[in-house]
Structure 1
Amino acid sequence: MIKVLFVCLGNICRSPMGEAVFRHKVIEAGLEGQIQVDSAGTGDWHIGDKPHKGTLGMLSHHGIDDQGLFARQVNSRDFSDFDYIIAMDASNVTNLQSFVQQGELNKANIYKMLDFLPESTVKDVPDPYFTGNFEEVYDMINKSSDRLLAHIRNQHQI
């Protein structure tokens, strides 16, 4: 099983959107038995909460299931449990380093979401919690998810 974790700050806007969009693409590709998807936040403010209403609205608008999305915080085990950790911005990548225990097995490949959209002039997915730009964020995540799935399929020959 290939495991993919999407990470943002609070796990209520960008990363649950990434989780839901990517899971939708995995199911459409018939790969749900081979790829597992989750999300988490680097902060602990929203643990147990459903995603932001803006995220839920975008998912609903695009016909993407939001069942099972509840905020959780990243933990040190995620670095050995997941093959891919996809951060939404550079700050998330920096914050992720504080969760890795010294000497702990780290199998995860850490990327930023927009690493998979190299033609983008923007390198970080902006946080719609502060900007309200959920449609723009959805577009970035949707396009990047196509490329991420292609990357995983190529790397794992599936």
Structure 2
Amino acid sequence: MASILFVCLGNICRSPMAEGLLRQYANERGCKIEVDSAATSRWEIGNPPHPGTQKILKAAGVDVAQMFSRQLKADDFYHFDYLVGMDKENMADILAVAPPDKTAQVASFMSVVAGKEDIFIPDPYYTGDFNETKKLVKMGLKPWFEILTKA
């Protein structure tokens, strides 16, 4: 089974939402997958998810008590099978620090959603629209789950 790391700017909004919702999606199907999230920046290290993300995760039955922001690290490029950026800037930041011999595949979150491959997930920290983020993340749950469980 493959493993996945979701990456966004601060690791308090989009990537922990994707982490929690994908873990919940897998658990509901009786499948344990390795899923985590990280930030490209240092700004929020050690902080819990944003209250807007916590509200969405708690409504989905996801325990956020052990979720804290961390920064992307070199080991992640070898430990995880997929490093998934939530927007164009995240992708550029991930690729800028990727070791040349990385084993992880780097992809954008929506790249696996048919007809939505070129869409990026806006940061609700700035837009305030956590429901839009949830809607887009939910579109990617099944395709990412299928990729991870077929590996």
Regarding TM over 0.5, the answer is: yes
Aligned pair count reads: 151
Q: Distance in 2 between matches of 1:122 and 1:94?
A: 15
CA contact (8 A) 1:74 1:99 kept: no
User: Is there any run of 5+ residues in structure 1 with no aligned partner, and where?
Assistant: none
Q: CA RMSD in A?
A: 1.6
Are the structure 2 counterparts of residues 42 and 121 from structure 1 closer, same or farther at C-alpha, using a change threshold of 3 Å?
A: closer
Matched, 1:30 2:30: yes
Identity of paired residues, percent?
A: 36
1:8-157 alignment to 2 at 5 Å?
8-32=8-32, 35-102=33-100, 105-120=101-116, 123-154=119-150, 156=151
TM-score (normalizing by structure 2): 0.93
Which structure 2 residue ranges, 5 or more long, are not aligned? none
Aligned partners of 2:65, 2:2: CA distance in 1, in Å?
21
Query: What SS is found at the alignment partner of 1:96?
Result: helix
Say which is worse superposed, 60-69 or 108-117, in terms of deviation: 60-69
User: What TM-score results when the alignment is normalised by the length of structure 1?
Assistant: 0.89
Partners of 2:129 and 2:6 lie apart in 1 by 19
Give the Å deviation of 1:122.
6.0
Q: Quick check: 1:87–1:112 contact (8 Å CA) kept in 2?
A: yes
